[in-house]
Structure 1
């Protein structure tokens, strides 16, 4: 089976720091290669893979503002489509735009939908619903207007997430700094529970950061470490008493949630979106409704077993589990079965 993986070009694959879509595409690519598959990754030229790398974009457009994103995206996608005949299947991680090529090529396409940025994009998915295959990353993120071949949870490599049973005395907010993710709420939870809070992540909303987060940073009880490279992020996740995940939207998935659990770190998350599918309430953390509930659960965090968190993450969110499920989906598509 010859597989083409179409990654995003906002960041490199895998990303140097932030880049969840690119990280997932990389994990799938490398996982398939480990199983002996013939895989070509279409990504930025600075991307890294053990397979073949094809690039039409030299640097990620988020790293070089001289690059026009629309132009780069058109060149990137068309580069794959012009070579589509060389592959048995195309695995699209680049949202809805590649779907518009699907009727022009003979190679079947499977698309992992990494969430819907807006209801306005759903008509594109609906147009190609019958001819291509869609994978949801959680049951919570499925649109009632679309059909799906499977739900496949993201997977990460247990070997690169070090388990830590003994935790340090801090709580962690680990994610993009945006109102949706709730860094300001994490600050309130930490203060009310009398715990130190470390914040790490890409600032996506500068006004929000300036008004709701920065005023509380004192480099003592609340500190912001910036957008960290992966190794530093993993150490923070492993050492934390708990990851605070007070999301303010229906989150399709949460990579930091499974990364924390893989390190043996419990998660306290607002019960929205996919969180109920990722966290075993009372076993790997707590699903809460509000700040008061979260503060109470911080006081109970020592009741959560780090060993159980790790075991749960390995069972449900390993690269091997993810890749096996995608191989099953590929075979369905190649057999002409585009729906579950």
Structure 2
């Protein structure tokens, strides 16, 4: 399949379902929302290893379908998540292309966004319009859908990033009463421009699958602590290295360096003078600030991990370290760690103070000295308390409840009465 040619597996045999009648209350017989969930073209859903946004989409989509909603996924062809249909512009994830020069990568997001818009128009013409589109594609998702004007279905765009990125866009964007926003934390939205805040319906914290069994007790865990996620300057892996060397704790680094998933692929690129990934800023930073300390013993880089390997690393670690240097908007890895009963040591940036209950589920540090000192106090933290907090705050059902409230508010603002599925009303927005 050539790039840019939409690949659709949407259900074309589904009989036409009329739009809800404006101004009428939803009936008890209506089954649920028909929505397009757009994850973008960068990684498969669920991803293999790194991919916080895609993990969130996988978790939310699964829970919404369990509740009776019909979900078509905008993604890449290699995604494996069960859905009610799929629209793709690319057969595989395009994340490695982000290491290419801008002129070579600029059209990827736009190609995907246009395929999603085409599917929206196609479904409307077939008499099976989407009740709403929930897009997670940065900038291009809301921009392209807003350009459809009155023909656009109601659109909710989840913000997964620090809003200083592309601030000019969000400051100028007008959703024309069709496109609205959701944040992943209150601290994230508070940093956004006024125009964005006016069009934001609320915030829904991230969620992760909750393990069925109890967490591993502290005395049965391995000795290492863990950094999980992209290894780059903003994530602060070098701070974790220095802190662990000072505290005498072995450190495992799990995540990609730029477009490279492991040591072998990075070494191959560095051996090729023409490889574009050599000049990736994350690669240059890692080579200068982290690689000299990676000795395979006190500091190990295990590359990107996924599935059972990631679950095992999290479950056995003494703690997850998140020494970020940026206002973290969502903190997926923090939620994953706490769900595994693994406490978190974090810097006091962005949403992290709201996710970590200082002294109970981890420690929140004001600076590197406090971060290092916290590593000596890990035995004060109870894995069972961490797991209980995650079940209460970060379970998939909690996130789905939040988005159902925002969907209802979105449809109210766009003058469409929200459908209900049997036995359970879509709750009204209270925020």
TM-score by length of 1: 0.94
Worse overlay, 141-150 or 247-256: 141-150
**Following TM superposition, by how much is the alpha carbon of 1:160 offset from its aligned partner in structure 2, in angstroms?**
7.0
Query: What residue number does 2:132 align with?
Result: 89
Query: What residue number does 1:29 align with?
Result: 61
Worse overlay, 69-78 or 306-315: 69-78
Query: What residue number does 1:55 align with?
Result: 88
Match of 2:141 among 98, 116, 132: 98
- Partner of 1:280, secondary structure, is coil
Query: What residue number does 1:138 align with?
Result: 185
Q: In the alignment, is the contact (CA less than 8 A) between 1:247 and 1:272 conserved in 2?
A: yes
Whether 2:315 is the aligned partner of 1:247: answer no
**Following TM superposition, by how much is the alpha carbon of 1:222 offset from its aligned partner in structure 2, in angstroms?**
0.9
Whether 2:51 is the aligned partner of 1:19: answer yes
**Following TM superposition, by how much is the alpha carbon of 1:98 offset from its aligned partner in structure 2, in angstroms?**
2.3
- Partner of 1:321, secondary structure, is helix
**Following TM superposition, by how much is the alpha carbon of 1:320 offset from its aligned partner in structure 2, in angstroms?**
1.0
**Following TM superposition, by how much is the alpha carbon of 1:69 offset from its aligned partner in structure 2, in angstroms?**
3.8
Partner deviation per Cα, 1:163-213 (whole Å, 9 max, x = no partner): 222321111111211010111100111011111111111112001111110
Q: Name the structure, 1 or 2, with higher relative contact order (CA <8 Å, separation 6+).
A: 2
Quote the Cα distance in structure 2 between the aligned partners of 1:253 and 1:259: 12
What pairs up with 1:181-330 in 2 under 5 angstroms?
181-204=235-258, 205-330=282-407
Larger Rg: 2
Quote the Cα distance in structure 1 between the aligned partners of 2:213 and 2:338: 9
- Partner of 2:290, secondary structure, is helix
Worse overlay, 45-54 or 55-64: 55-64
Match of 1:122 among 142, 150, 170: 170
Match of 2:75 among 43, 50, 56: 43
Quote the Cα distance in structure 2 between the aligned partners of 1:64 and 1:293: 38
Match of 1:4 among 29, 36, 42: 36
Query: What residue number does 1:75 align with?
Result: 111
Quote the Cα distance in structure 1 between the aligned partners of 2:343 and 2:290: 24
**Following TM superposition, by how much is the alpha carbon of 1:122 offset from its aligned partner in structure 2, in angstroms?**
2.0
TM-score by length of 2: 0.75
Quote the Cα distance in structure 2 between the aligned partners of 1:121 and 1:103: 14
| C-alpha RMSD over aligned residues | 2.1
**Following TM superposition, by how much is the alpha carbon of 1:68 offset from its aligned partner in structure 2, in angstroms?**
5.1
Partner deviation per Cα, 1:74-105 (whole Å, 9 max, x = no partner): 23212221232320000010012122232522
Change (3 A) 1:222 1:162: farther
Q: In the alignment, is the contact (CA less than 8 A) between 1:161 and 1:259 conserved in 2?
A: no
Tell me the number of residue pairs that the alignment of Structure 1 and Structure 2 aligns: 339
Query: What residue number does 1:164 align with?
Result: 216
Quote the Cα distance in structure 2 between the aligned partners of 1:71 and 1:322: 32
Q: In the alignment, is the contact (CA less than 8 A) between 2:294 and 2:300 conserved in 1?
A: yes
**Following TM superposition, by how much is the alpha carbon of 1:218 offset from its aligned partner in structure 2, in angstroms?**
0.9
Q: In the alignment, is the contact (CA less than 8 A) between 1:162 and 1:238 conserved in 2?
A: no
